[in-house]
Amino acid sequence: MRKVLVTGGAGYIGSHTVVALIERGFEVVVVDNFCNSSPLVLPRMAEITGVEPQVVEADLLDRSALDDLFSVHQFDAVVHFAGLKAVGESVQNPLLYYKNNVAGSLNLFAAMQAHICLNLVFSSSATVYGDPDSVPIKEDFRLSPTNPYGRTKLMVEEILADLGNANPQWRIALLRYFNPVGAHPSGSIGEMPNGTPNNLMPYITQVAAGTLQQLSVFGDDYPTKDGTGVRDYIHVMDLAAAHLAALLKLPQQETSVRAYNIGTGVGYSVLQMIDAFETESGVNIPYTITNRRPGDIAECYADCERSKRELGWRAHRDLVEMMRDQWRWQSLNPQGYR
């Protein structure tokens, strides 16, 4: 493995993974349409690594642009991040999600097949499990996503399973991420959501920065340790390392398609997250308890034994690092990359 195409490599998780790949000596080409990212991330990546990745501005819906890309470059593997990820938006506009995430992926896989590039790491999500019967969640649990976004992830997983059946030469790792948070420790790359954040951590840091007034805690009557929702938060640097591990392992992967949970195995409640942030930053987070957010589940955390055993990967960074790095990024870049 030497040359890798990273779709969505300008985005939050993609940019951290591109940095990890470059630092490991891979030649990286990014394809991104910048629909949810900024080209200004590129010089930041170069600042960290000393190498500016090659970038092609293109949409995965443009099949001929993908064919051109595969004709110019001989890729050993693809890491496929490009997709839309806002659950609420997917409920409002399902066609946009099915088109972008499913049709875009189909174009990519068709180009890969045509150019005989059969190694793939795919960004799936813990959302494919829906509301699990028990925790921690194992990879062989029932898959039943509860919203269109989650269904796009499951559909792509199923398409990939069929591809692997049709041609056992494919080597495909499905990485089911739990809740990515944090930023590069340099503070120069991170996530800056457009508009008001949907996710807990960017919401907390924007309240801390004074951009937002207070946090709404969505329900305190769940059957959890303190009544608030419990999630498996994972540092984005650990997540980037998981992609590297999966990529390096692909040639030895025993089956053509394999799913891996990528989390820490530990669940924290919303109140624990607020407390950890306040302790680390010294900034108070005003909050009120409001109604549950429709579609939310009580508890979600991973059993990560398979990734430990088969990928030789595990998360190393704790809550303190997640808080510190997220806050550093927010403080240094109040306007994101602008």
Binding mask 178-207 toward ligand UFG (x if CB under 6 A, else -) reads: xx------------------xxx--x----
Site track 210-249 with ligand UFG (rule: CB under 6 A), x = hit = -----xxxx----------x-x------------------
Residue 228 within binding range of ligand NAD, rule CB under 6 A:
no
Strands 287-290 and 230-231: unpaired
Give the pairing type, strands 268-269 and 230-231.
antiparallel
CB 85 within 8 A of CB 153: no
Contact call for residues 88 and 97 (beta carbons, < 8 A): no
What is the rounded distance in angstroms from the CA atom of residue 329 to the CA atom of residue 187?
4
Q: Which does 313 bind (CB under 5 to 8 A by kind): ligand NAD, ligand UFG, none?
A: none
Binding mask of the shown chain, residues 80 to 99, with x at each position contacting ligand NAD by CB under 6 A: -xxxxx--------------
Specify burial of residue 308 (Cβ count, 10 A radius: 0-12, 13-18, 19+): middle
**Does residue 34 belong to the site contacting ligand NAD (CB under 6 A)?**
yes
Spell out, one character per residue from 102 to 141, where the chain touches ligand UFG: x when CB under 6 A holds, - when not: -----------------------xxx--------------
Only segment of 79-87, 285-293, 319-327, 328-336 that touches ligand NAD (CB under 6 A):
79-87
Q: Strand, coil or helix: what is 262?
A: strand
> Which one from 12, 149, 233, 268 is the annotated catalytic residue?
149
Catalytic site residue 233? Answer: no
With contacts defined by CB under 6 A, name the span among 9-17, 205-213, 251-259, 304-312 that binds ligand NAD: 9-17
d(CA 148, CA 127): 10
Provide the 3-class DSSP secondary structure of residue 206. Answer: helix
33 binds ligand UFG (CB under 6 A): no
Residue 180 binds to ligand NAD (criterion: CB under 6 A): yes
Of positions 56, 61, 159, 289, contacts ligand NAD by CB under 6 A: 61
- Whole-angstrom Cα Rg for the chain: 19
Give the start-end residues of each E strand in the chain. 3-7, 27-32, 54-57, 77-80, 119-125, 171-177, 179-181, 215-218, 230-231, 233-235, 257-262, 268-269, 287-290, 299-300
Helices (H) and strands (E) in the chain, counts: 12, 14
Q: Which does 229 bind (CB under 5 to 8 A by kind): ligand UFG, ligand NAD, none?
A: ligand UFG
The residues annotated as belonging to the active site are 149
Residues of this chain that interact with ligand UFG (CB under 6 A) are 85, 87, 125-127, 177-179, 198-200, 203, 215-218, 229, 231, 270, 293, 296
